[in-house]
Amino acid sequence: MLFNSYFFIFCYLPVVFAVYYFFVLNHRLVCAKLFLAIASIYFYGFFNTSYVILLMLSIAFNFTVGHVILGSRDSNRKRAIMIFGICCNLLLLGYYKYWNFFLDNLALVGPDVTWPTIILPIGISFFTFTQIAYLVDAQQDKVSEHGLVDYVLFVTFFPHLIAGPILHHSEMMTQFTRRHQNFRYSNIAVGTTIFVAGLFKKVVIADSLAVFATPVFEAADAGLRVTTVEAWAAAVAYTQQIYFDFSGYSDMAIGLARLFGIRFPLNFFSPHKAANIIDFWRRWHMTLSRFLLHYVYIPLGGNRRGKTRGAINLFLTMLIAGIWHGAGWTYVIWGAMHGVYLIVNRSWLSFRQEAAARLGRPLPQIPLPIAVLITFTCVVFSRVVFRAGTLDGAMSMVQSMLFQGPTFPGDVEAYTGGSAALMKDLGITFGAQQFVPLRDWGLMVATISASLLLVWFVPNVEQIVGRYRPTCSNMYWNEQHHWRTWLRWRVNTLGATVTAAALGISVLCLNRTSEFIYFQF
């Protein structure tokens, strides 16, 4: 079931909301939580009922292992049980997510044997990582005893089940186990507003950008020559598409949770405003970054054993991040690229700090707009590899962007008039096949430009509704920006009108519904 579908918005959500609060208002909280857990399992099974059994077996296994860990007093035994549980989770994830990739690569060097294709259960990475974090926290005595219904709801709660955020037991269970839940109009207003904002991001902005990115990447994957202009436009369009697609989903998840009185952790905080790659990863998919920091990078040793070992651990962490995103060499290379980015960024900061200490004064800062543009450009190139279906397609895109002279479709020459000869003298060539119709180039430039203006110059959704503390994180509005106060959303007639207008526009765009990009991870 998709958040951006008529059935979810006009059928599933109203029914679940009404029945849940019927139980809450009648002081039947256990029934309310049980119903919400069953409704969440139905939400998951809507995609493929056969994998509901897999989800429930995973929950039963981790719940049992967690209770064994919590009931043990021997630290060595607790650690051994935790390792056993993590290994079982990783084996399950590896089988469903990477078995096909393993067989494809084995076929290149081994005998031609036909194996059955494994269908990836949707959301398996997210509910597996959530439960791995739970087992680690249990071993470290960071969780308390809880009931089965509470645990099932913690794992299956439908706003985060498919594509995150990755939740921690400590920040969620206290909310799920509260003895009293109240129906609050502010929760309904804030939750609806954030959900509509996310829906607008997805169906109006992200899906509009996909129109300009998809045909170009598909052409490159098919071995066709892509023009310089289209390659750059597609790369930036996809970078913006995945930004609005995933941040839109994260906003929708936060809004839906708030409808039920639950505050999720923040998962996005304007990552394209980042002035360096380190800052980018503090803002992009924040719950994944948190998971990688606490459960991969620090256990590897972090930077406690020197700069060289710290750089290796950082690279390995990002390599794991790439592998987590998908079973393909493009994801491995994407993770390696960000590992190198982070190492270079950290080395540069260390160099500046040491140089400032020698000079006795701080070095001049790179102007913020330039730093943001450099960071964004690095992200764009990594997104080319991330989006490409094949390594050859990725190399073709990069070659078109960097290593060939400016190339335009043949139709463009007719519009240049007498300047065509001069352009050719400057090394510009014409005649390449085009994949975005020339009549749409104006719309393409306008759409991409508008998306960039939004991410660079407009506060994010959590800042706009920051006075209502939409998440359980602490990154909200910077109070010194008084000139932006008119953008602060309020529970009033104007706020309701803006939300209703955005909802109306979004609903009109639901006829071109597409899945969220992160569903495949």
Cα diameter, the chain: 84
Per-residue burial over 475-514, b = 16 or more CB atoms within 10 Å of its CB, e = otherwise: bbbeeeeeeeeeeebeeeeebeeebeebbeebbebbeeee
**CB 393 within 8 Å of CB 329:** no
With a CB cutoff of 8 Å and minimum separation 6, the contacts of 7 are 1
Helix 13-25, helix 29-45: angle, nearest 10:
170
Question: What's the full length of the chain, in residues?
Answer: 521
The residue assigned the tokens 């390594």 is 391
Closest CA to 82 of 72, 96, 92, 97: 72
Q: Find where tokens 């829906």 sit.
A: 199
Residue 358 burial by Cβ neighbours in a 10 Å radius (0-12, 13-18, 19+): exposed
Reading phi first (left if > 0) and then psi (alpha if -120 to 50, else beta), residue 419 is in alpha
Record the tokens describing residue 304, joined without a space: 């406690």
Q: Report, as residue numbers or ranges, the catalytic residues.
A: 325
172 and 154 Cβ atoms separated by less than 8 Å: yes
Distance between CA 187 and CA 468 in Å, rounded? 9
- DSSP for 388-426, written as a single string: -SSHHHHHHHHIIIIIS--EEEHHHHHHHGGGHHHHHHT
Phi and psi at residue 408, to the nearest 5°? -125, 155
Q: Between 50-71 and 29-45, two packed helices, what is the crossing angle to 10 degrees? A: 130
Among 449, 319, 336, which Cα is nearest to 382's? 336
CA 294 to each of CA 133, 170, 263, 297, 508: distance values in angstroms, whole numbers, following the listed order: 9, 14, 21, 6, 42
**Could you tell me which residues come within 8 angstroms of residue 301 by beta carbon, excluding any fewer than 6 positions away?**
309, 310, 313
The position carrying tokens 């996809």 is 238
